[in-house]
């Protein structure tokens, strides 16, 4: 689209890219500002204010300034001229306005302004990555007004420069997400001072990992390898996202060795480099494969390993780096049998001696980390300690659940603590690499815990291939910059504003809703774990409900795609629509397979049609992949969707996608009626709150190659009626649902009647129907009402007057969290576990039972680990005035098999036996004991638990 087309987008898109969550604006596209006066025009009438900087400033600042110049060209059509100041003189500047950028103490331009009293930098000077922006009148001869961007250090200046890029409408994802730039004729600078404060987390970055076949295929095709041409694209993205730290790709790659310009340019750009948790001393695993001699075994090969590591520190030179210390087995595996704490302590001691000897400085002057990953954490838990200046990099369980946090009042460590988190993983119980399955709600909840317990030195996240993790990457890095600025209740607004930044204002809200729901659906079960047995066909209409929900979401997404201007379609497809469409299609595929297998067992005439449906959806998956790789954005992102995701048989990915197994049958050459219905139906008056299968429904179907006749009679037509009594079921129809309708006005006590069904092939079935009346008018208000056997309670359905504070703590709603409508958790989270008392913070739920006697109560909880390694995280509950029961959510869940089951289902279920003395109104009260407990829903079940993935739908709530 040419400039004319982009002009037409202005009114439609409302310059959405200029907005950032919670950030003050210094740029406007209108001279009419009510809240702040306009200082001067940065662009207008075909001119753009020049960018002035010093010759002696950092190379990274000069690179960012050049990118800002090009960003002005993207927005206005005219680049900003770069002017280098020498001896207090500037080259030709006909506009008399400027953007002056520079680093305090490293820019003669900025230092001169400070010396002349033109700017006061006390707010940022000497701080880490801080920025001052303000308008200055007559900063230098020939300049009447200037926007001055003064950084406390190199990245402080760079972040300020890219903040202007963002505010004039250039998304950080303009290259990596194909986000278009809306043309602006006029750009104004507002007369206000803006400070970008130092980030709350010092090092914030990503790990490019598990990069084959997707990222590696694209990189080799586009750049010929993981060289500086590729990495400068990554560096720029990180800086635009105000990140500073990178673990480079390492599957078959070695950052320093593959291209000697890689580390040089990383340092020039301003990126702090490291290596992954199992690559010590800045040496890539591939470097050992290329140059190592002997075994990767310190006891047997100490001298060779020391020389190998020494070269890593020598290559580091003066480049900003964080050195990984310690040692795991070769290939990201545990060390050999018999390795012990004493050996690892010696390894780290020797590594620090190497650091000291090479740098000529105490080891404490070089940033280091020790990653407590997998079995390494066990060494720490058994008492191993490292020098205080080494950052302890704590880790999640590879599935987004933190494994360990410092104690609330842990002793201060100069190296502090960090977190290594995952948006992508290769390993047990299943790889998840294909598309985004990460909710920002769970990320916020876990990282909020981390920050609240003092983990603020390093936050790094495994992002796999980078695409298509654009949205969670943005959130992780934004949140890391200032966790105090984004509360949980801000997350919907954050998502909306991110959508606005990429796609404009018009559809920002519905796009945000789509992002929230598709990530929620994909987080329930990773697509790689999805199969025909995941959801139930038999109970709660579960398979149909989840597929219907995804279909509706895909339709909404496609409707937005169709309405978006052409310039935004490529970005929307790769950032949102593909993930929705591909996921919805995968759900259709596995439901079709489930129905195919069920219908084969029932010998339904449509069995083979559903085998064809499986083949169709399998083909659609490949066509969507082809569109992403080859067609969208002109094939720019070829290979990014090469990741296999259909046909897993164990944790490792299959070499190729494979068609799920289908069954085909040979139909008998006659008409035969099939009946899908129980021997006994139990019906009551309680409404359902979800589109579950109506309890009064029977399905009739054809089993032969001819249409089947049916006739249905009711024993007592005064009580029960049918929507169809006679008819034909065609062979091409999946079935004919017969709905039952009860006239409850004629029933005052329990009644028993029957339905008689006859059909082709001599089929005859009698179904007993038990009718249990409930006087709905007498049901209590503000309570969940039991249906058949159980009552299912939404964690958000507490009574507002039941929230009880205690010790400054309260149960807090997390709307939209987890697998359900949301969850509740005690906040603030930084409190010492409480002793059980009825005075503890509590929350209550009202429910009404039709039954009494023994029952099971089930709590659905987030699978939070025992992060403080205490007895376990706890809460307590009681029904009515019964004695409180303390529940340890970690006890009994320590085994690897249970952990695999939990993370695969993204839930932990804890059941307990209870006794309900009488039918009627009851109250469930829950007390807080430990932080970190998140409850998503509860079930009280008088019967036997039915197989399902999501559990029973929430019961009817009588308002």
pLDDT tens digits, one per residue of 392-402: 999 999 999 99
Average pLDDT, the chain: 93
Q: Provide the domain count of the chain.
A: 5
Tell me, yes or no, whether 480 lies in a domain: yes
Tell me, yes or no, whether 788 lies in a domain: yes
Contact 154, 2 (CB under 8 A): no
Run of H or E including 312: helix 302-316
Q: How far is CA 209 from CA 248, 249, 462, 864, in A?
A: 8, 5, 6, 25
Predicted confidence at residue 773, as pLDDT, reads 86
Per the listing, tokens 């983990």 go with 455
Q: In terms of domains, do 787 and 760 share one? A: no
Predicted confidence at residue 334, as pLDDT, reads 60
- Which of 750, 776, 802 is at the close of a domain? 776
Tell me, yes or no, whether 668 lies in a domain: no
659 pairs with which residues across the strands? none
Q: What is the CATH number of the domain that holds 951?
A: 2.60.120.1620
Nearest to 240 by CA among 187, 146, 175: 175
Tokens of 41: 């025009």
- Which of 171, 196, 221 is at the close of a domain? 196
Please say if the pLDDT value at position 506 is more than 90: yes
Q: In terms of domains, do 95 and 220 share one? A: no
Q: In terms of domains, do 74 and 172 share one? A: yes
SS3 at position 685: coil
Please say if the pLDDT value at position 836 is more than 70: yes
Q: In terms of domains, do 750 and 873 share one? A: no
Q: In terms of domains, do 915 and 830 share one? A: yes
CA dihedral 402, 408, 413, 419 (to 10 degrees): 10
pLDDT digits (tens, 9 = 90+) for 756-782: 999 999 999 999 999 988 887 888 999
Beta strands in 171-319 (DSSP E): 187-190, 194-196, 203-208, 245-247, 272-273
Nearest to 600 by CA among 537, 542, 528: 537
Tell me, yes or no, whether 442 lies in a domain: yes
CB atoms within 10 A of CB 8: 14
Lowest mean pLDDT among 57-71, 127-141, 646-660, 890-904: 890-904
Q: In terms of domains, do 155 and 220 share one? A: no
What is the distance in angstroms between the CA of the first residue and the CA of the last residue of the chain? 53
Q: What is the CATH number of the domain that holds 416?
A: 3.20.20.520
On the CB side of 285, CA atoms within 13 Å amount to: 19
Q: Which long-range contacts (CB under 8 A, 24 or more apart) does 285-290 make?
A: 285/250, 285/254, 285/330, 285/331, 285/332, 286/250, 286/252, 286/253, 286/254, 286/257, 287/254, 287/256, 287/257, 288/330, 290/254, 290/257
Q: In terms of domains, do 713 and 611 share one? A: no
Question: How far apart (Å, rounded) are the C-alpha atoms in residues 3 and 376?
Answer: 56
Question: How far apart (Å, rounded) are the C-alpha atoms in residues 820 and 198?
Answer: 37
Tell me, yes or no, whether 647 lies in a domain: no
Per the listing, tokens 């310009």 go with 261
pLDDT digits (tens, 9 = 90+) for 432-461: 999 999 999 999 999 999 999 999 999 999
Rounded mean pLDDT, 680-707: 78
Q: In terms of domains, do 342 and 477 share one? A: yes
Please say if the pLDDT value at position 91 is more than 90: no
Tell me, yes or no, whether 403 lies in a domain: yes
Tell me, yes or no, whether 876 lies in a domain: yes
Q: In terms of domains, do 589 and 612 share one? A: yes
Q: In terms of domains, do 553 and 421 share one? A: no
Handedness of CA 81, 85, 91, 96 (dihedral sign): positive
Q: In terms of domains, do 263 and 330 share one? A: yes
- Which of 585, 608, 635 is at the close of a domain? 635
Nearest to 512 by CA among 521, 501, 527, 522: 501
Please say if the pLDDT value at position 93 is more than 60: no
Tell me, yes or no, whether 659 lies in a domain: no
Q: What is the residue range of 593's domain?
A: 511-635
Lowest mean pLDDT among 86-90, 226-230, 598-602, 717-721: 86-90
Q: In terms of domains, do 181 and 211 share one? A: no
Question: How far apart (Å, rounded) are the C-alpha atoms in residues 444 and 436?
Answer: 16
Tokens of 851: 């039954």
Nearest to 49 by CA among 148, 117, 151, 196: 148
């Amino acid at each position: 689209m040419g400039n004319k087309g982009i002009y037409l987008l202005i009114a439609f898109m409302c310059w959405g890219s200029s907005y950032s969550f919670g950030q003050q604006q210094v740029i406007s596209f209108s001279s009419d500002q009510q809240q702040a006066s306009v200082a001067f025009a940065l662009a207008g009438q075909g001119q753009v204010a020049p960018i002035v900087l010093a010759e002696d400033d950092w190379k990274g600042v000069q690179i960012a300034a050049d990118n800002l110049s090009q960003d002005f060209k993207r927005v206005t059509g005219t680049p900003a001229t770069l002017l280098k100041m020498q001896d207090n003189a500037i080259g030709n500047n006909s506009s008399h306005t400027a953007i002056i950028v520079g680093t305090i103490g490293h820019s003669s331009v900025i230092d001169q302004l400070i010396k002349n009293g033109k700017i006061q930098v006390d707010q940022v000077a000497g701080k880490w990555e801080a920025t001052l922006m303000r308008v200055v009148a007559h900063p230098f001869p020939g300049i009447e007004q200037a926007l001055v961007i003064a950084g406390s250090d190199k990245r402080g200046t760079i972040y300020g420069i890219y903040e202007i890029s963002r505010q004039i409408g250039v998304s950080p994802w303009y290259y990596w997400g194909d986000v278009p730039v809306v043309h602006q004729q006029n750009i104004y600078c507002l007369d206000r001072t803006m400070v970008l404060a130092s980030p709350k987390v010092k090092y914030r970055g990503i790990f490019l990992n598990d990069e084959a076949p997707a990222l590696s295929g694209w990189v080799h095709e586009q750049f010929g390898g993981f060289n500086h041409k590729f990495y400068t694209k990554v560096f720029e993205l990180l800086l635009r996202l105000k990140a500073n730290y990178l673990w480079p790709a390492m599957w078959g790659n070695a950052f320093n060795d593959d291209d000697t310009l890689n580390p040089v340019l990383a340092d020039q750009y301003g990126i702090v480099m490291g290596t992954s948790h199992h690559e010590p001393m800045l040496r890539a695993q591939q470097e050992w494969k290329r140059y190592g001699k002997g075994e990767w075994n310190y006891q047997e090969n100490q001298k060779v390993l020391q020389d190998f590591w020494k070269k890593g520190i020598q290559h580091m030179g003066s480049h900003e780096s964080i050195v990984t210390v310690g040692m795991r087995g070769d290939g990201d595996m545990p060390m050999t049998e018999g390795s012990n704490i004493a050996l690892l302590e010696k390894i780290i001691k020797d590594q620090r001696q190497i650091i000291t000897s090479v740098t000529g400085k105490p080891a404490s002057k070089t940033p280091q980390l020790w990653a407590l990953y997998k079995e390494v954490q066990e060494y720490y838990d058994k008492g191993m300690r490292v020098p205080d200046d080494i950052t302890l990099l704590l880790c999640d369980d590879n599935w987004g659940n933190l494994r360990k946090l410092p104690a609330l009042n842990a002793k201060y460590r100069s190296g502090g603590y960090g977190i290594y988190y995952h948006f992508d993983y290769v390993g047990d119980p299943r790889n998840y690499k294909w598309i985004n399955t990460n909710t920002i709600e769970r990320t916020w909840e876990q990282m909020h815990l981390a920050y609240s317990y003092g983990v603020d030195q390093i936050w790094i996240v495994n992002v796999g291939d980078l695409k298509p993790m654009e949205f969670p990457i943005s959130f992780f890095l934004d949140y890391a910059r200032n966790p105090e600025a984004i509360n949980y209740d801000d997350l919907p607004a954050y998502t909306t504003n991110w959508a606005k930044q990429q796609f404009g204002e018009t559809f920002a809200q519905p796009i945000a809703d789509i992002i929230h729901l598709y990530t929620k659906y994909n987080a329930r079960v990773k697509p790689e774990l999805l199969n025909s047995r995941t959801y139930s066909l038999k109970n709660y209409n579960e398979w149909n409900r989840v597929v219907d929900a995804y279909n509706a979401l895909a339709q909404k997404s496609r409707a937005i795609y169709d309405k978006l201007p052409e310039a935004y379609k490529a970005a929307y497809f790769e950032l949102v629509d593909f993930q929705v469409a591909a996921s919805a299609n995968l759900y259709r595929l596995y439901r079709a397979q489930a129905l195919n297998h069920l219908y084969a067992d029932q010998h339904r005439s449509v069995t083979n049609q559903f085998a064809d449906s499986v083949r169709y959806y399998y083909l659609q998956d490949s066509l969507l992949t082809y569109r992403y790789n080859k067609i969208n954005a002109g094939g720019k992102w070829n290979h990014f969707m090469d990741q296999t995701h259909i046909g897993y048989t164990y944790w490792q990915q299959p070499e190729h996608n494979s068609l799920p197994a289908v069954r085909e049958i040979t139909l008998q050459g006659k008409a035969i009626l099939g009946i899908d219905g129980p021997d006994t139906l139990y019906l009551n008056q309680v409404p359902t709150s979800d589109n579950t299968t109506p309890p009064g429904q029977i399905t009739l179907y054809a089993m032969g190659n001819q249409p089947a006749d049916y006739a249905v009679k009711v024993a007592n037509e005064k009580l029960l009626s049918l929507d169809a009594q006679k008819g034909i079921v065609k062979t091409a129809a999946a079935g004919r649902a017969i709905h039952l309708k009860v006239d409850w006005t004629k029933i005052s006590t329990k009644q028993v009647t029957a339905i008689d069904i006859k059909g082709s092939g001599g089929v005859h079935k009698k179904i007993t129907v038990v009718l249990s009346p409930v006087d709905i008018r007498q049901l209590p208000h503000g309570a969940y009402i039991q249906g058949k056997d159980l009552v299912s309670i939404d964690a958000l359905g507490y009574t507002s007057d039941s929230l009880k504070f205690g010790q400054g703590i309260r149960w807090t709603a997390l709307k939209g969290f987890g697998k359900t409508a949301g969850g509740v958790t005690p906040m603030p989270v930084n409190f010492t576990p409480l002793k059980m008392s009825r005075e503890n913070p509590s929350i209550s739920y009202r429910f009404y039972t039709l039954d009494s006697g023994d029952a099971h109560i089930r709590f659905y909880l987030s699978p939070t680990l025992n992060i403080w390694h205490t007895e376990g995280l706890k809460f307590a509950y009681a029904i009515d005035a019964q004695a409180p029961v303390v529940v340890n959510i970690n006890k009994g869940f320590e085994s690897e098999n249970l952990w695999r089951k939990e993370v695969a289902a993204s839930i932990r279920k804890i059941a307990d036996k209870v006794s309900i003395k009488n039918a009627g109104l009851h109250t469930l009260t829950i007390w807080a004991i430990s932080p970190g407990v998140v409850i998503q829903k509860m079930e009280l079940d008088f019967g036997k638990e039915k197989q399902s993935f999501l559990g029973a739908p929430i019961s009817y709530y009588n308002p």
